[in-house]
Amino acid sequence: MMNYINILIVRIYIMASTRNKNTPGDYALEKHSINKQFDERMYIHQSQGQAKQINLPGNGLLTGRFAARDLAKNGCDIESYLFGIGSTNLENPLVPVKPELNTIKSINVMEKTPMIMPKPFSMEPNQRPMYLN
């Protein structure tokens, strides 16, 4: 009977440790996975993040998304002023907002050919027959 209990305990112990959950390699793998996910989510230039280069659309481009931080340094203050947030605050009246706009260059995909304008149209008096002159 005693021999049976020892074998049973050994088998339970062996069966309980067959998973790789608590090994140093598995721990390092989990830690690496968590750190990689954190780095990808916190990357500032991800798909929903901030653009590396901001340009206004020129010839051959359509307008993309512009965030408030791209157009002005104090975009939140400008937006709050335009929506009237804090306009009825009698305790601390708002000071007028001075926009600090960013200078954004325009980018062109193609060169535009210059337009050639004809001479202004003028009716000459001797071009119509007889009585219509």
**CA distance linking residue 97 with residue 29, whole number of Å:** 51
17 has pLDDT over 90: no
**pTM (2 decimals)?**
0.51
Q: How confident is the model at residue 36 (pLDDT cuts 50, 70, 90)?
A: very high
Per residue in 45-73, pLDDT tens?
887 778 888 888 888 888 888 888 889 99
Q: What percent of the chain has pLDDT over 70?
A: 80
What does the pLDDT look like over 76-85, one tens digit per residue? 999 999 999 9
The DSSP code sequence of 106-119 is: EE-SSPPPPPPPPP
